[in-house]
Structure 1
Amino acid sequence: MAKVAFLGLGVMGYPMAGHLQAKGHEVTVYNRTFAKAEAWAAEHGGRAMPTPREAAMGADFVMACVGNDDDLRSVCLGPEGAFAGMAAGTVFVDHTTVSAQVTRELAAVAAAEGKGFVDAPVSGGQAGAQNGVLSVMCGGAQVDYDRAEPVIAAYARICRRLGDSGAGQLAKMMNQICIAGLVQGLAEALAFGQKAGLDGAAVVEVISQGAAGSWQMANRHKTMLADEFDFGFAVDWMRKDLGICLATADEIGASLPITALIDQFYKEVQLMGGGRNDTSSLIRRLTR
């Protein structure tokens, strides 16, 4: 069992930290809104600290799940950042979806200070975090990954190292590219069925058992047909992720024409007031 600090208690981080505590790790949490960290400690045990530095002091591993590149820098760097409280030999594990650039930047800082850094973005959504069955894509030195993997296992269904620093984030970009296309295809199919006068749920029962089946179809078709989207992974966050994908594609010379188009569809959803809706709300463009 390890001493673990967990930074960021959003819809993903809150249950992830809970799984660590439930598996017997000694967990200290930090959240920008300290009251939420105190509420977590009251519910799960463990401790709450008001700064990343204080949370990281004495930890063997520091896990983070925050919002974006700037949020990650803010919890890592500076006099109150986690790196200031981490001892040499400690491993920082970043579950945030961020750019590979900031990952490599922070990994270099950590290495210069004798600390490990593993980029480990996750897929599986809020339900995956709550049920402890996330898919975790990792990058970093093999020795750091080997140390961190048994701790990550507290909330992972699968965890794999895919290469050096930044590889985890690049794999997460591939994940988001795939999801964007799947959700748009599902939205178009369901809207088509409605226009044709078919029972969408009955059709999905059949086609989900064939080649068209997907996680999105199985888990989102009912709420899409019911026009319910006040849950799940927000459109605002998906646009952040797709922005990272598109910027990286420009850097490496990759072509993402469908991703770029769907990003603009999500922009339309934002302009309709749906920025906090689940990503499956793409269908609203087609049925309004």
Structure 2
Amino acid sequence: MSTPTAAASRTYDTVPARRVAFLGLGVMGYPMAGHLARAGHQVTVYNRTTAKAEAWAAAEGGRFAATPREAAAGADFVFACVGNDDDLRAVTLRADGAFAGMAPGAVFVDHTTASAEVARELHGAAKTLGLHFVDAPVSGGQAGAVNGALTVMCGGDAAPFEAMKPVALHFAKAVTRIGEAGAGQLAKMVNQVAIAGLVQGLSEAIAFGQKAGLDMPLVLDVIGKGAAQSWQMDNRGKTMVDDKFDFGFAVDWMRKDLGLVLEEARRNGARLPVTALVDQFYAEVQALGGRRWDTSSLIKRLK
């Protein structure tokens, strides 16, 4: 459930209230939809588990609908954050999907981390119906969603992107168009490749320091002021030292994302030896029982 944060104190007067739908109320979607409601937009939500949509509506003062089509009816913008390509197709293309309920000119904004291929497919399907589609995966994790501080990387046509950007800034600190349809998903893949290598390097560094008998919290404080500094070190280094992983971005989700990366790499010919290796390491973490552990749990293999 979303909670009031510094983001809730923003000034929204410059953004007119719009009719908005939000599809998918997981750990990301639930607080993202909450930011939109508290900004004064008329929000209707849909979730596969209706009880969660009912709870959100009761907490945030919005409405809930039984199908994506009903949620999207009359909406200026339809935001979605679901699980994968198949889930995304289900909430858009089926007879009870959002595309069937959206009015011509409405914009569908997809925050799911999915393939560039499905983004291009749905962009084309939307255009045929007189709709707009923007692929807009996010970075920042659950904390970023709760605090309204996500980074959103977008692909799609410029005009619908510019129309949806001020609305998306209610739950984001940055919303950037990278390029044409699919470019947002490709940028998210770049993000995940960078994170995978960083977390593995940080895991090895901490494990090495512990084997050497160093005071690792102190070491992290010191090297975090130099060239080794990273978001992962600042936010995950000391919890890795403490062997705490019951929070954050789950290993299962990371493996899903890296699967998309490696599939795209096979398509475009990119060589990703470290990413492929780290994906195997995450499979080992899953085998240890860490499917829902934070991605920083890579260090568990080394202890």
Q: Aligned residue for 1:157?
A: 173
Partner of 2:67: 51
Q: Which residue of 1 aligns with 2:21?
A: 5
Aligned to 1:55, what secondary structure does the other structure show? Answer: helix
- AA of the residue aligned to 2:275: T
Moved over 2 A (4+): none
Alignment of 1:229-248 (within 5 A): 229-248=245-264
Residues 257-276 of structure 1: per-residue CA shift (max 9 Å, x gap): 10000000000001111011
For residue 21 of structure 1, the aligned residue among 37, 50, 55 is: 37
Aligned to 1:134: 150
> Does residue 194 of structure 1 match 2:221?
no
1: CA distance, partners of 2:246 / 2:68: 31
Partner of 2:220: 204
Partner of 1:75: 91
Answering whether residue 250 of structure 2 is matched by residue 224 of structure 1, we say: no
1:42 to 58, 63, 74: 58
- Name the structure 1 match of 2:270: 254
Distance 1:219 1:207 in 2: 14
SS of aligned partner of 1:154: coil
Query: Is it true that 1:61 corresponds to 2:82 in the alignment?
Result: no
Check if 1:111 corresponds to 2:130: no
Q: CA deviation at 1:2?
A: 0.9
1:78: Cα distance to partner? 1.2
Residue 170 (structure 1) aligns with:
186
C-alpha separation between the residues in 1 aligned to 2:51 and 2:66?
Answer: 9
SS of the residue 2:255 aligns to: helix
Q: Which amino acid aligns with 1:219?
A: N
CA offsets per residue over residues 138-169 of structure 1, 9 Å max, x none?
Answer: 00000110111011111111111010000000
Backbone CA RMSD of aligned residues: 0.6
TM-score between both structures, scaled by the size of structure 2: 0.94
Tell me which of 81, 100, 103 is aligned to 1:84. 100
* 1:16 Cα offset (Å): 0.3
**Structure 1 length-normalised TM:** 0.99
**Separation of aligned partners in 1, 2:27 and 2:231:** 20
**Which runs of no fewer than 5 residues in structure 1 stay unpaired?**
none
Q: Deviation of residue 61 (structure 1)?
A: 0.3
Gaps of 5+ in 2: 1-16
Percent identity, aligned pairs only, is 68
Residue 265 (structure 1) aligns with: 281
Q: Name the count of aligned residue pairs.
A: 287
Measured in 1, the distance between the counterparts of 2:236 and 2:193 equals 18
| Paired amino acid for 1:197 | G
In 1, the alpha carbon distance for the partners of 2:259 and 2:95 equals: 30
CA distance in 1, matches of 2:244, 2:50: 31
Structure 1 CA distance, aligned partners of 2:86 and 2:267? 20
3-state SS of the aligned residue for 2:153? Answer: strand
- Cα-to-partner distance string for 1:194-248 (whole Å, 9 max, x where unaligned): 1000111000000001110000000011211111111111100100000100110
